[in-house]
Amino acid sequence: MEKQSLPKKPRRLGESQLTLPVTDNQFLRCADLILPWLNAPELAAVSLTCKASSFISRSITLRRSLDAARSLENLPVPFLNAVDSKRYADFAYTPFQIPASSSPQPRQRWGGGASDAPASQFEMNVVGESMCGCECERCEEGYCQCLALAAGAEIVNECGSGCGCGSDCPNRVTQKGVLVRLKIVRDEKKGWCLCSDQLIKKDQFICEYAGELLTTDEARRRQTIYDKLRSTQQSFSSALLVIREHLPSGQACLRINIDATSIGNVARFINHSCDGGNLSTVLLRSSGALLPRLCFFAARDIAAGEELSFSYGDVRLTPGESTEKKLNCSCGSSCCFGTLPCENT
Ligand SMILES: C[S@@+](CC[C@H](N)C(=O)[O-])C[C@H]1O[C@@H](n2cnc3c(N)ncnc32)[C@H](O)[C@@H]1O
């Protein structure tokens, strides 16, 4: 005879089911100190070891996906992914240029509880050779001798640490970090894409391209490694940018290599567009800094939700490059060349 099973009485959640046992609580506190220092694969491995570490790993992953900038910018920059299971991109965050790091992927606490220190571990002013700037106690917009130093439309001067004015000077537009709402959205073809999350007006500052400043030899060495990684790992994407500042004669006079692959800021998510995209790039000098910084401004009004993009270079300038090194372009513009610009670094 079949045994009649009685309807189960709904069980009341006891205290023990709502909170973890004291030992687990201590474990959680300890784990919260250590696990935020782990990278994504290490965190995934630890999460398999027990219920408590799985719980804390999930909360770290959630917090990481809510802010790529880990409180180092004025506003959080969330990751949004509706196409695959990747929750965030793993990299160390720096809001400004830093010298080349000796370790391949330095550790940075990210996604911990309230104890996360919102201070950058990297020092600003890497290029801290003091140069004299203006003597203004307070600069007027449009009336500062630093502005007069601007050499052309693509090179702009700002006040800096060598000037007499303070951080509230109106001629330090790019030194206050990211002031527009941004988000990082996953795309099937392009990977992560930096998008606006508000209306951005034409000429508004968006962000600078921050990362490690490399010598040309080091840039070439890393590019070889990145090319190899890309041939073995489909999802790998590098963010090594080479900027050449040209003399009026047309000859290159200064070459700057910024690698945001392992250490960078939100700009490392800006994709290429063959039509030039909606961002304009400006090389910006400020007193107190030896090297210029590459800054992005809105080239036109940008609607909320629009992807931000610029041209990585001219594909037509690299005809000799082997086709296997070239990546397919998915910019979707009407003048798309089909491949991404790539140059021998
Ligand atoms: C600086 S990263 C940009 C962020 C990158 N999408 C990511 O997921 O981290 C440059 C890489 O993004 C991808 N990418 C950029 N623009 C692209 C485009 N128009 N079409 C396809 N992939 C693109 C390429 O893999 C390229 O090497």
Q: Does ligand 1 come within 6 angstroms of the Cβ of 70?
A: no
Comparing 142-146, 228-232, 337-341, the range with the smallest average pLDDT is: 142-146
Q: In this predicted model, what pLDDT tens digit does every residue of 186-201 receive, in sequence order?
A: 999 999 999 999 999 9
Question: Is 0.85 exceeded by the ipTM?
Answer: yes
Q: Which atom of ligand 1 approaches the CA of 89 most closely?
A: 9
Distance from C-alpha of 240 to C-alpha of 258, rounded to nearest angstrom? 6
Q: Does ligand 1 come within 6 angstroms of the Cβ of 209?
A: no
**Average pLDDT value for residue range 215-229:** 93
CB 63 within 8 A of CB 32: no
Closest residue by Cα to atom 24, ligand 1, is 237
Q: Does ligand 1 come within 6 angstroms of the Cβ of 274?
A: no
Q: Does ligand 1 come within 6 angstroms of the Cβ of 185?
A: no
Q: Does ligand 1 come within 6 angstroms of the Cβ of 186?
A: no
Q: What pairing do the DSSP bridges indicate for beta strands 191-196 and 205-208?
A: unpaired
3-state secondary structure of 41: helix
Structure tokens at 77: 């920059």
Output the pLDDT for position 336.
94
Long-range contacts of 147-155, Cβ-Cβ distance < 8 Å, separation of 24 or more: 147/171, 149/285, 154/281, 154/282, 154/283, 155/245, 155/282, 155/283, 155/284, 155/285, 155/292
Distance from C-alpha of 285 to C-alpha of 237, rounded to nearest angstrom? 29
Output the pLDDT for position 320.
54
Q: Does ligand 1 come within 6 angstroms of the Cβ of 269?
A: yes
3-state secondary structure of 296: strand
**Average pLDDT value for residue range 231-252:** 81
**Average pLDDT value for residue range 202-215:** 96
**Is the pLDDT confidence value at 116 over 50?**
yes
Q: Which atom of ligand 1 approaches the CA of 270 most closely?
A: 3
Q: In this predicted model, what pLDDT tens digit does every residue of 36-95 receive, in sequence order?
A: 999 999 999 999 998 888 989 999 999 999 999 999 999 999 999 999 999 999 999 999
Distance from C-alpha of 217 to C-alpha of 221, rounded to nearest angstrom? 6
Between the CA of 190 and the centroid of ligand 1 the distance, in Å, is 5
**Is the pLDDT confidence value at 129 over 50?**
no
CATH number given to 145-325: 2.170.270.10
Provide the residue ranges of all domains of the chain, joining segments of one domain with +: 19-66, 145-325
As to burial, measured by CB atoms within 10 angstroms (0-12 exposed, 13-18 middle, 19+ buried), residue 338 is: exposed
**Is the pLDDT confidence value at 32 over 70?**
yes
